[in-house]
Structure 1
């Protein structure tokens, strides 16, 4: 049972962070928000149907990133991503 509660607590934290990112998306000087594992998240926006957001995320992370959330609103793709940790 503890494992299930931990999963929901972690998911709630991620959703809260994602919600805050979306709310602050229009603020260009806002500080990054962090995932429970400590990685910073970044929001990029591009025209829906293009691969520009993926290219921006890959460039910002030197290739390896995880999509935290993506949505499309009014012809704009919103992509929240976090760079993967470098392999040790």
Structure 2
């Protein structure tokens, strides 16, 4: 039963994220979503007001990245980004 709920939760989270709704913290294990140009997106969360999310995205991409969406909720910055082509 636990496996079925987990599978359902992953599908529900992917559907919500694809629909443009806020990404839920329980969705962190879902597969990355892709932009129309084929680039994978990544979600990072950090304390609002800090630049930790940007630092993490820069490190992960090895440089420049594009912000796909960002929001702040309950003191947490949610940043969805995609690395720029090299």
What TM bracket, shorter-length normalisation? 0.7 to 0.9
User: Aligned-pair distance for 1:20?
Assistant: 6.3
Q: Which residue of 2 aligns with 1:78?
A: 78
1:35–1:81 CA distance, 2 compared to 1 (3 A):
same
1:31–1:81 CA distance, 2 compared to 1 (3 A):
same
Q: List runs of 5+ in structure 2 lacking aligned partners.
A: 1-16
Q: List runs of 5+ in structure 1 lacking aligned partners.
A: 1-15
1:21–1:40 CA distance, 2 compared to 1 (3 A):
farther
User: Aligned-pair distance for 1:18?
Assistant: 6.4
> Pairwise mapping of residues 1-88 of structure 1 onto structure 2 (< 5 A)?
17=18, 19=20, 22-23=23-24, 25-86=25-86
Task: Provide the aligned length of Structure 1 versus Structure 2.
Answer: 70
Calculate the TM-score normalised by the size of structure 2: 0.73
Q: Distance in 2 between matches of 1:82 and 1:20?
A: 17
Calculate the TM-score normalised by the size of structure 1: 0.71
